[in-house]
A and B are shown apart, each in its own frame.
Chain A
């Protein structure tokens, strides 16, 4: 295995000055000389890592975690305030497709201009011209002015030019989210091709799924700091864990707000625990494992026909499952005193992600006695399949040769 380093990020920090008021004119600058207050904002804090040649590295992070800034620094659009980045080989950055297209010029002229902006020689463009046009599916419009292009055509042309630049290092910033499905598939195919060619790819995204599918390793960024640089699967787990710590603010929880819980409580929740095979040892579930919610409750008065409801929400607060004992046909009559209920999911069919369980006690008529939310659990998929649900897949292949 070669150990050549394609991108070496050495102690990179980037400071942005956030001026409370931005002054562009001389008069304003002079008038506000000295009292132009600003805050220093470190978008990147001492980031260091190495990317070996031929590797595909994901950079994971939420919006505003500094991943795009890091990318801009790598591609040379921004200069780091401290530290340096050594890039070995031609680097093409797909930050925005079609950036620098001149609406007044034709598609043909724009291909040449854009390609040379990205560092491609004219001879090279001439050689690949048909390929670029073919990839963008713009054979009939190539001599039209770009201003008459649809946004889809525009983006296709942008991507076609960028991937034909023949870079040693390709930097992709969530541009794959554009274009129709067919084109997206084409883009992914192109990225696979790049990987197989032994090129280095840096992939910035907040989609853990994409990282799992494409990347070998990944860096996880959180508010400018790198909280991990490990294998893709571990980085995804780290990222999910990190999201979970932020969950109270970011997740929108539960369809019913807690304030609707009436003050009169003949019965209330005492303890609610989530238990699964991973508890204690690895603190996450594997897809298909079981999960039990232990519900302890205390009744001050005898309650007839109590209903225990259970909901599962994903990290975005979206409900993925809801049921209750009434639906399941279990009648519960509670005497004064305490009781326990164990709600077991035999198989958790999720692939990946952080989830929250909510438990509520209510009357048969739907009056909520007590409710508890935000009981987290995580599912981590060690495999490479992605999506939301772990489906049972079996593949049967039969081939018959013609001769």
Chain B
């Protein structure tokens, strides 16, 4: 037997706790807890939030409403970041559409005259809507993926990111409109002031429609990154489905009435044309800005012959550029788009909610 004593050479404390006695410690803690309880009570009532796999659309809308200030900041951020570090900065938001307008003016006045007076205004009034729609859609679709850093780390209603993109698009639309008005003033082109109220349902319709589509696509884009490229191509085709660079009345209108949808009998292609939610909005804008549905313009057209065939030659004829629909047609069409868009919006929120659960891991 060997007895070995390993001396640590240190004196360990008898009582390792830093407070005097167990009883005193407990009493102190209880006092602390009681004090705290009083303060807990003072803090009053609080909102309740539920985190679960299923959140109702109404709850989502409420959360979005609560985050409205965030929306404003995000819109502001988007505009600021876009022109940061450029010399002219914010001025670009005006300069850009002004230069575009100038190019179109030169192009359609000197190189590609098509007989429609002030065609630039006709085209640009459609471009206002189209740019708003396109910017909102592309910006919105990519918004969640581009803001992955925030989405993964901060909890907030993510739809706000999409809506902020739409909001920023609306701000750019606003600046473009100012340029447009200045341009019209310079060319003494008077808009249809009496119809200005028509712009309200039209704008509401296009904004809600773009938001609905963008919310849906933004969620899908997280899982399928093709979405953002696909939508760009789709928008190119879509652009030609609205009367921007061509006049709706006359030849286009007639052709649309004459042709069927995919050879299905008793259908008219024009139904499909007007099923495009952007079209009525664009037409409303043209009605206000271009204000010329009884023009003195000549358009080179292929006349329809007596036997129903299209003539191989063109004649210059006086034809209205705009569709000669009554005011209530525009109101009805815009409100119909708005109504459908609201439903689409709610549906998009529901889809977004289902897909949102895995955003943080998919990004």
Footprint of B on A, CB under 8 Å? 1-2, 4, 16, 24-27, 29, 53-54, 72-91, 93, 95-96, 99-100, 102, 104-105, 109, 112-113, 116-119, 121-122, 168, 195-199, 286-288, 308, 310, 321, 323, 325, 328, 330, 332, 334, 339-349, 351, 381-385, 390-393
Contacts and interface: CB of A to CB of B under 8 A. Distances in A.
Interface string B133-167: 00000000000000101111111100000000000
Contacts of A122: 69
A84 B56 CA distance: 14
Given A1-B34, A328-B6, A328-B7, A25 B224 contact: yes
A78, A96, A112, A286, most chain B CB atoms within 10 A: A78
A55 to B, nearest CB: 9
Contacts of A385: 16-18
Interface string B1-29: 11111111011111111110000000000
B36 interface: yes
Nearest to A1: B37
Contacts of B316: none
B357 interface: yes
A381 B152 CA distance: 38
Interface string B342-357: 0000000000000011
Task: Give 10 nearest A-B pairs by CB, closest first.
Answer: A347-B12, A383-B17, A198-B39, A99-B153, A287-B16, A84-B52, A89-B46, A392-B13, A79-B357, A76-B155
Interface in B21-51: 33-43, 46-51
Nearest to A195: B36
Nearest to A84: B52
Interface string B78-118: 00110011000000000000000000000000000000000
A381 B3 contact: no
Interface string B318-344: 000000000000000000000000000
A87 B51 CA distance: 8
B33 A383 contact: no
Contact of A384 (B7, B18, B49, B73): B18
11 contacts: A24-B225, A25-B225, A53-B40, A54-B37, A75-B155, A80-B53, A99-B153, A198-B41, A340-B1, A344-B6, A390-B12
Given A2-B40, A122-B69, 9 more contacts: A25-B226, A77-B154, A88-B49, A100-B149, A100-B153, A102-B77, A168-B43, A197-B43, A328-B5
Given A24-B224, A26-B226, A80-B53, A325 B4 contact: yes
Contacts of B80: 104-105, 109
A53 B37 CA distance: 8
B361 A16 contact: yes
B126 interface: no
Contact of B13 (A116, A121, A393): A393
A86 to B, nearest CB: 5
A93 B48 CA distance: 16
B34 A347 contact: no
Given A1-B34, A79-B51, A113 B153 contact: no
Given A26-B226, A99-B150, A117-B150, A79 B13 contact: no
B154 A198 contact: no
Contacts of B35: 196
A387 B197 CA distance: 73
A73 B16 contact: no
A385 B17 CA distance: 7
